[in-house]
Amino acid sequence: MEKEKVTINVAKTLYHNTYRCTVINEQNETKALLKVVPQLPLSREEVPENAPEVPPFLLVVVEDADIDQNNLIHFEESVSVALLNRFATDSTVPHSCQFFYPSPAFFFSDKNLQNPTPIQ
C-alpha cells in the first residue's frame, strides 16, 4: 500500500498546550479529527540530577477518523510523519506519536454484535 500524503491543519484550543487538528488527504477530503497535546520534558534544572533524559513526544487523541482494522497502520504512519513535521521547531523535535482511540460507539449501539473481532 502506497503511503498517502496528508496535510495537517492546526488550531489552538482553550486549553494550554492542546491543539485541534484536521487531517486532509491529497483529494482535499477530511480524513480525521485529532486532539494533539505535545508532551515536553521538564528542564534539567527542574529534575533531580540522576533523572533520565526523555524525548518530547505527541499525545494524539483520535476523535473521528476514516479508519478500520485494514488501514490503521497506514493511517498512523502517514499521520505521524505529518504531525512530527508540523510540530517540530528549531528547539524541539518530537520523537514519536502515541495514538489513543475512544471506544467504538458501534460496539455499544449494535445489539446483534455478540463477539466483536479484535484488531490483530
pTM equals 0.80
Q: Is the dihedral of CA 79, 85, 89, 92 positive or negative?
A: positive
User: Alpha-carbon distance 91 to 95, whole Å?
Assistant: 13
Mean pLDDT of the chain: 87
In this structure, the number of other CB atoms found within 10 A of the CB of residue 36 comes to 21
Segment among 13-27, 28-42, 53-67, 102-116 with least mean pLDDT? 102-116
pLDDT in tens, 38-83: 999 999 999 999 999 999 999 999 999 988 888 889 999 999 999 9
SS3 content of the chain, % helix, strand, coil (to 5): 20, 30, 50
